[in-house]
Amino acid sequence: MKLYLNEYPRAFILVSDQYALIVRHPYPLYKYHHHHHHHHLHHHHEQVTSDSSKSKSSKVIVEFVRKDSLNLSKYVDLTAAKGRAQNLSGFLGLLNVKDKLYLVFVSSAVTVATPRIDEDVQKITGVEVFCLNSDEFDWQFSKQIHTPVSSGTEDDYFESQSTDDKSSSTAGSVPSVRKLLSSGSFFFSHQFDVTSTIQERGFRDMQSPKFSLMGDSPYQRQFMWNSFLVSELIEFRGRLTPYEQTCFDSCGFLITITRGYAKTVNSTLGNGEEVLLTLISKQACAKNGPLFGDWGSDDNGHVSNFAESELVLFGSKFCLTYIMVRGNVPILWSLETHISKRTLAAKKNKKVVFPRSFEASQVAFTKHLDLLSNQYGDIHILNALSQDTKTYKGKLNITFKEHIKYFLEHRGNDEQTAANYKLGYTDMPVATSSMKKADYTAVNPHEFSQPIAKLVLNFGALFYDIDSRTYVGKQLGVFRVNSFDSLSKASFLCKIISQEVIQLAMRDLGIDAGHDLLSKHARLWAETDEYLRNITVNFVSYTDKLHSSSAASKGIVPSQLKKRYMHTVSDHKPGEMAILKLLGALQDQVSVSLHNPLHDYVTKELERREKEFTSQRDISVFASTFNVNASCEDQDKFKSWLFPPGSSGDYDLVFIGLQEIVELTASQMVDTDTLRRQMWEMHLRVCLETNNTTQSRYILLWSGQLGGIALFLFVKQSELKEIHDVEGSFKKTGFGGVSANKGAVAVRFNYSNTGLCLVASHFAAGHGNTMERHQNFKTIGKGIKFSKNRRIKDHDAVIWLGDFNYRINLPLEQVHALVEKKDFPRLFEYDQLNQQMASGESFPYFDEMELRFKPTYKFDNGTSTYDTSEKQRIPAWTDRILCLSRKKIIKQHLYDCSDEIKFSDHRPVYAVLSVSISVVNETVKKNLTHELYENYRKNYGDINDMIVTNTNLSFLISEADDNVLPPPSSDTTKWWLSNGRSAKITIPELSGPNADQLVFNPKYPHNPFQETEEPEFILRSQLAQ
């Protein structure tokens, strides 16, 4: 990436191989520029009020254009200046400090990790900044601004920087931010969004990975340390077309950075296979208040010292990943120090205080768990806090357990806050002496590894088979480790967890992990611990840990007073000030407002003329659910199931969800047996290709398995070109580890311009477990998540099928009699799912075609006879297919079951549907877009003319200014009343000279429509008359 400058009118142009990003300010200041006569055009902006100045200084005009549309010979190449890198590595965004806007770039970086082949994580070692709205610092362009650091720690950087921000020798008031970003604790990647994990990114682009923004959920955003710099750029990107977004991402015009530790080492398994072992730890930055130190949660559930660690083991045949999180106790607390001569330097002077009520703290606690569950699913807390109730840490532990107990006892009382995830808890106190004795070695201490190994099986791990391109397992929950400061003890327990994951996974594969892998794994965790401690302690807020134990009383007392009075007294260290600036946390910092006039004009016109390039067409979808009872027989009868009477025999999409395809062992870390799923895939494909009426080929677009639940999505080969953005997601419900037979598998994709989501699920069994099935629905609806934070309901069309296990609330004999009569409407009245949907509880707004077939459960295997076993289960419609769509674009034509398939105790249920798809004619749209661009150029000139000659850009943001909200209401004015009209009602009679003598007439009728001659007000003297 190169950077060019047009000196007057001031404009910066970021240029990649094919595209350019033009960044301009509508009101730049020319302090030293030789065009003095032009300076007066902008001089008046310095006289405006402070609020107006901030508003105008934060506005930026941005255009994303093709490089070949620019004449770059007219501009100054800033990257070619003496002493600079010939190319910039990435654009970090726009930083607004003291009414100055700065473009921030990565100028140098080194590769530190390679989690997968062709995926590199780079540590930032050099940063450069350029002032956008002033030429005050242009004299520096010919000099070297920053020299990358070759050694040292963040301590070295900030030891002597307390007065840097007062200096104007570098680009304004951001030298400390540059030094912070260049200190070696920040990293990024050109191939992927570093705020994400491999489980979120998936394996679609392994051969040629391309950057795609993932950090758009509240959870991921907390790891994006340049969020303040790029938030508006992300919005700008979101307004581009999907194709433009791909081009934009490929240019490096938007990169995300995070802070922490990342490293990859080469290792060897016990069988000699070479693997890459990677450990990435990311610190969070979303908490309001101190990010580091002895503090608890804020009101939003974000805690101090929070970090996420991802372990990646990548080989030629597989990829294994595992995620753990850590953080301070997630309730509202802080550490108070009592000052006296006797206890000044003693540990007994510390006391944990809880500044808010238990109820207020419980809200923050619940929000923290909700954040974790939305991202990871189920949660298990490993608590390493002291159990000694006499110490301040022990007292914190007691309160922490009270919050956990309250949560577990009251989690279902409030419908709005009822948790749809499992919360586990284990006390695991770690003595410092035990930790030092065990150290970071290839052997886990038995007293910790044994209980952790049992817990690890509950969540499984992400395991991807590279040869077959299938997920063998996914991580379905997370360990949340907390110690008092979430540093050394938390790192120690995380190392034990990840080593147990590696050993259990390798055991299931029949491979010896080997000493080389385990010893290097231990070394990575030791380095992580040391590194995180260093970059955390250097930025601890208001804590005595910044001072040595031998510090003089004179040095200790001020810090203790600061701690005691929290935010009342605050004298930030330089490093803290740099973080506050980077995060936009200073009081006078406002976010940048980006305006993209050319693109916005074209987008609005395209929306207005959408009918010119968009049409609708119906596609045929076959959907089916079948609980196969761990069997696969009657393949010769599959035609009667997949091509039933009444169907066209020609489907564009085939969506099949199976339940109980395998019997799993609960002690498995990963299910390595994929043969059953592959066998089903083969039989289904053969039947589809052999029996369809147009002799079409069907391609397996996506398949996924969670325990016994499998989803298969076949697409007619001729339709593949219409499908893009395919993603899968998994959600387990209940306990049972990866072997759990209950949960859901989902896939989403765009079919031309229409978003579809397909869900296959298996709910809790049992006649009386209606509420548990309702909770399954809520858990899956909340837990199935795709990129851009999309959920099931965020699609144009949804087909949700499965063994929902809803029963019929009638006695056995009465059900048999109604089935015999085929009185299905009467039976349906007592169907639990029907009752749930009618009351708006489960599957609100979903549609289901009328049930005209007999209940599909439970049969004696191989027969048409309902259950004759000792339990004699009541027949029920457990297997269902439901639809949800915007504008009712789904139409269901067939809904039935296949009675010829009898090997299971269920019957396969199928539906034939049509979905109205919005199809975009890209050629027509492209021509129309070109026409609109040409019209814009005729009105405002060529892009080069606009950069070089146009000095007045205010017209480009005037339309956006028109949409600014009015001032908030006050006691005398309301925002909805125009022209300064008073918000108070004035009664003429009570405003006259005799107002104090008037009262309301008691004879005046209460009915305002009744005609009367009585006056509304009378004199007080008339009351007695």
Kindly tell me if the per-residue pLDDT of 280 is higher than 70: yes
* Per-residue model confidence (pLDDT) at position 309: 97
Provide the pLDDT for residue 220: 85
- Please classify residue 991 by burial: count the beta carbons closer than 10 Å to its beta carbon, then call 0-12 exposed, 13-18 middle and 19+ buried: exposed
Average pLDDT estimate for 884-890: 93
User: How crowded is residue 942: how many other Cβ atoms within 10 Å of its Cβ?
Assistant: 14
Check residue 1023 and give its pLDDT: 79
pLDDT reading at 201 higher than 60: yes
In 3D, which of 740, 738, 782, 742 has the Cα closest to residue 763?
Answer: 742
Q: Of 213-222, 482-491, 757-766, give the lowest mean pLDDT range.
A: 213-222
Overall average pLDDT of the 609-620 stretch: 93
Residue among 695, 690, 719, 710 nearest 620 (CA): 719
State the chain's mean pLDDT as an integer.
Answer: 83
- Identify the weakest region by mean pLDDT among 20-29, 406-415, 542-551, 999-1008: 542-551
Please report the pLDDT score of residue 68 as a whole number: 86
All domains of the chain in start order, with CATH: 2-151+175-255+588-602+951-957 (no CATH), 264-545 (no CATH), 615-807+850-866+879-920 (3.60.10.10), 969-1025 (no CATH)
CB atoms inside a 10 Å sphere around CB 619: 20
Contact between residue 943 and residue 895 where contact means Cβ atoms under 8 Å apart: no
Percent of the chain with pLDDT over 70: 80
Calculate the alpha carbon distances from 649 to 265, 653, 694 in Å: 54, 12, 8
Contacts of 315 (CB under 8 A, 6+ apart): 269, 273, 274, 275, 276, 466
> CB neighbours of 645 closer than 8 A, spacing ≥ 6?
none
E strands in 610-689: 614-627, 653-659
% the chain with pLDDT above 90 = 46
Rounded mean pLDDT, 2-30 = 88
Confidence of residue 666 (pLDDT cuts 50, 70, 90): low
In contact, 459 and 514? CB cutoff 8 Å? no
Residue whose C-alpha is closest to residue 546's, from 517, 513, 575: 575
Tell me the mean pLDDT in the region 616-633: 93
Residue 41 is predicted with a pLDDT of 41
**Mean pLDDT score, 567-584:** 70
For the full predicted model, state whether its pTM sits above 0.85.
Answer: no
Once rounded to an integer, what is the mean pLDDT over residues 709-722? 93
The band of 152, judged by pLDDT with boundaries at 50, 70 and 90, is very low
Q: What is the pLDDT of residue 279?
A: 98
Give the tens place of pLDDT for each residue, 894-940. 999 999 999 999 999 999 999 999 998 888 988 998 888 888 777 77
What lies within 8 Å, CB to CB, of 292 at 6+ separation is: 304, 305, 536, 537, 539, 540, 541
Contacts of 734 (CB under 8 A, 6+ apart): 422, 740, 742, 743, 764
Helix (H, G, I), strand (E, B) or coil at 988: helix
Return the structure tokens found at 966.
Answer: 């009015």
- The predicted-structure confidence for 468-493, as pLDDT tens digits, reads as follows 888 888 888 999 999 898 899 999 99
pLDDT band, residue 307 (cuts 50/70/90): very high
Ordered DSSP codes for 147-209? ----S--HHHHHTT-TTGGG--SSSTT-HHHHHHHTSS-EEE-SSS-TTS-HHHH-STTSSS-
Q: Is the pLDDT of residue 659 over 50?
A: yes
Q: How far is 171 from 528, CA to CA, in rounded Å?
A: 34
**Across residues 179-207, what is the average pLDDT?**
87
Residue 885: partners with Cβ closer than 8 Å, 6 or more residues away: 796, 797, 798, 915
Least confident stretch, 43-47, 99-103, 484-488, 885-889? 43-47
Residues 6+ apart with CB under 8 A from 348: none
